[in-house]
Amino acid sequence: MKTEFSHICASYRKKRVLQDITFSLEEGSITALIGRNGAGKSTLISCLTGEKTDYDGTILLDGRDIRTMDVQTRARLISCLPQNLPKPHVTVRELVTFGRTPYLPLTGKLSKNDEIIIDRALEVTNMTAFADAFVDTLSGGERRRAFLAMTFAQNTPLIVLDEPTAHLDANSRFELMALIDNMRKTMGKTFLIVMHDLPEVLRCANQIAVLHDKQLTFFGNADECLAQQIPQKCFNVRVHGSKEDGYAVIPMQ
């Protein structure tokens, strides 16, 4: 599914935060959306998910303006996982079942196919063994995987994640990003991920979209980002290292 942002302009509390934003997501890719605090990342995501409709420009999914779609149609195309996740007292399997909501009949009864998709979502996210555990008893990394399983069960071609590795330890961060990359490779899922950690962005993202001074300052891959000195220009830091050995960020004097 092709996803296109075309000339998006948006304001927040009467203050312009996005000006003429145009780029497309490559199908089956991970695109990192980055920028300093207040750069407009959350506003752009809100436009995409339908939470914000008072913007200029168009967002197209396979050529169709998302503002013409009803909630159910959009929920079958885009799933979104926020940064701050609740701790409901439900089992992991019950949580994952919520992902099937856009497909359920009025009776709310799960079909055999729904059950298969739920089982697959648990398997892919390595949460099968936690199916009967309560979500509010899980560690931070386990809870992220449980919600990712719910998102996967929604079975959308586009998955939007808002800082999925926030507050996780280093090992959990690597595991979660490896899981996301595996979903991209094996299932052709397209990811748009709001990220802040530059080394993680450079290591994991196929495409990088940089919002700066209300505009899309850069859109390209990691090598192009470094070649154009985007970390220095937009974040006032230098980046050393490589994708193979890891990156380090050093503040500019």
What are 91-104's pLDDT values in tens digits? 999 999 999 999 99
The domain defined by 1-73+199-253 folds into Rossmann fold (3.40.50)
What are 195-251's pLDDT values in tens digits? 999 999 999 999 999 999 999 999 999 999 999 999 999 999 999 988 888 899 999
List the domain boundaries for the chain. Answer: 1-73+199-253
Element (H, E) at 115: helix 112-124
- Sign, Cα dihedral of 73, 78, 83, 87: positive
Q: Which residues partner with 238 through β-bridges?
A: 250
pTM beyond 0.75: yes
